[in-house]
A and B are shown apart, each in its own frame.
Chain A
């Protein structure tokens, strides 16, 4: 598949086009230009490294939303075996914006749950752009309870613009569904490993992201509100999204510095989509490491640490009262 390049990647795109042209020429040419090609390829790699070495938060959120970025089902196919998808909330419907089921990870039975986006127009619509409705969160909770019952660790992948703001979603209790998950996830008696793989959009992301380890891919984002949403409220125009992205501190590295996440998982040069095979290997190791560390703990220790961490969120000062 041809790589889609983002605006700020245009210099790379031009080089890649040139390489492509040369390859085409080489096929029916007597002159050997492979040296030239490999030179350009090296140059493209260097350029990608340089550009990705200094991405702005707004550019990172473009990468996080890249249409070719691996999604939850790609990670499930890439690093899990024997995945059995389980459907429905047993009350209203099956929400296709969240997928989940039992699977094996390095041979061990686990529950895996994640937001799911679509690649083409039809699929995007089918997945509702990865924006869950209450039944999605309730399905996720049902599966988490199932995992707890059979003592299976839970692995979640976060990748959503946010919970769906629709009439039906409100009628069926979007707020309650999200709040309920936050509450229940606090006391799940199995390890919960959460990884933000793309967009961590507000409450819709958090509703499957309360756990013992919260890690983020290098070019993923996690935010209380989308940069566009924030800009249109505080700057009165969505055009200032780049400023909002800066101000909100939404990138993995910033959030690690702020102590809000545990780990940043490195991506291949140019982002996860440029080398999915390498990405899968890195992800598999990150999850295995996280899981091993959590499974060494007793259940009581696990729950206590999880709770203490939740209580530690937030920064404030204390002043003596007159």
Chain B
């Protein structure tokens, strides 16, 4: 503490804690990357991409679907599927408590939301991960909703798109969650048999069991700019190899350079790009 701070009476000291400012909560928002202070509405109008530096702020599943899908004619798939506590899992918290906390926090029942709809009038099924729901972790419900989404695509002859944002498998469901990797990968064989495209969009972050299952099985794999994508987390790798990781390691740009993904697409271009790719792959006329 400096001599000046010591001199100041306590009341004046606390005045600098921004928390008591007169600005209403949520009106302003600070960019995580460049620290620019942004007007919340501006940021939202820009699809949560920082207008100053282009940083892609993570977005909730439903907002993602709102951004991608046409407003008309959507309906949700697999919402009836709900989580159960198979193992009576308990660490510092019971799993059911973790689930209800996540449910209160996000308004979702689990970490994947699936909808049938259309992107610029191109019909498709889209699944989106809710990262704020226990780290977007994949348990039985995520796996089952994914499968039901693909089955809907199969029944209606539609392409399937998944927008991933996940820390990996859900530990609280034990081996059942590991098996969701096999389950989600297996259903994609049916999509291939029917020659229906699967486009995999990887957003920040896509790691572990999600990364090492369906994420890289896309006919086209797209990364959002700057997204962290990989099998093992950077900290685990650092502890294992005892080296500092190269700059930009496991980011979309790095993956593109290594040949792991097809392209990087800005969120503001994503709708258009997906519609273009889908029409090209399924030999439909271009969207206007």
A residues at B contact (CB < 8 Å): 163-167, 169-176, 178-180, 182-183, 186-187, 202-203, 206-207, 210, 222-225, 230, 233-235, 243-244, 247-250, 255, 258, 260, 307, 310-311, 313-321
Given A179-B213, A316-B84, A320-B80, CB of A169 within 8 Å of CB of B231:
yes
> Is B53 an interface position by the 8 A CB rule?
no
Are B90 and A315 in contact, CB atoms less than 8 angstroms apart? no
Partner of B183 from A222, A313, A319 at Cβ < 8 Å: A313
Of all chain B residues, which has the CB nearest A210? B182
B176 touches A258 (CB 8 A): yes
From B81, B170, B209, contact of A318 by CB (8 A): B81
In residues 211-253 of chain B, which contact A (Cβ within 8 Å)?
Answer: 211-217, 229-233, 236-237, 240-241, 243, 245-246, 249-250
Stretch at the interface among B9-17, B61-69, B184-192, B277-285: B184-192
Question: Bound state CA distance, A9 and B34, in angstroms?
Answer: 57
User: Does A258 lie within 8 Å of B212, measured CB to CB?
Assistant: no
Q: Tell me if B243 and A313 are in contact (CB < 8 A).
A: no
In the bound assembly, the distance between CA atoms of A186 and B193 in angstroms comes to 13
Closest A residue to B175 by beta carbon equals A260
Q: Which of B147, B217, B237, B246 contacts A183 (CB 8 A)?
A: B217
With A230-B171, A316-B82 as given contacts, are A173 and B182 in contact (CB-CB < 8 Å)? no
Asked if A313 contacts B82 (CB within 8 A), the reply is: no
Task: Collect the chain B residues with CB atoms within 8 Å of residue A173's CB.
Answer: 216, 258-260
Across the interface, B241 reaches (CB within 8 A) one of A166, A183, A307, namely A166
Bound CA span A180–B90, Å: 33
CB of A310 within 8 A of CB of B91, answer: no
Q: Return the chain B residue nearest A243 by Cβ.
A: B91
- By beta carbon, the residue of chain B nearest A186 is B186
Which of B92, B139, B188, B258 lies in contact with A171, CB distance below 8 A? Answer: B258
B144 touches A316 (CB 8 A): yes
Task: Give every chain A residue within 8 A of B231 (Cβ-Cβ).
Answer: 163, 165, 169-170, 174-175, 178, 203
B residues bordering A, Cβ < 8 Å?
79-84, 86-87, 89-92, 139-141, 143-144, 147, 169-171, 173-183, 185-189, 208-209, 211-217, 229-233, 236-237, 240-241, 243, 245-246, 249-250, 258-260
Q: Are B177 and A179 in contact (CB under 8 A)?
A: no
Nearest CB of chain A from residue B98's CB, rounded to whole Å: 10
Q: Name A207's closest neighbour in chain B (CB-CB).
A: B212
Known: A167-B243, A175-B211, A260-B179. A234 touches B91 (CB 8 A): yes
Cross-chain contact of B237 among A165, A202, A230 (Cβ < 8 A): A165
B144 to chain A, nearest CB (A): 6
Chain B, Cβ-Cβ closest to A181: B185
Q: How far is the CA of A317 from the CA of B91 in the complex (A)?
A: 23
Closest 5 CB pairs of A and B: A165-B232, A314-B140, A313-B179, A182-B185, A234-B91
CB contacts (< 8 Å) of A178 on chain B: these are 181, 212-213, 231
Residues of A within 8 A of B230 (CB): 170, 174-175
A224–B217 touching, CB < 8 Å: no
A206 to chain B: which residues have CB within 8 Å?
A: 178-179, 181-182
User: If the complex has contacts A174-B232, A247-B90, are A225 and B169 also in contact, measured as CB distance less than 8 A?
Assistant: yes
Inter-chain CA distance A222–B182, complex, in Å, is: 15
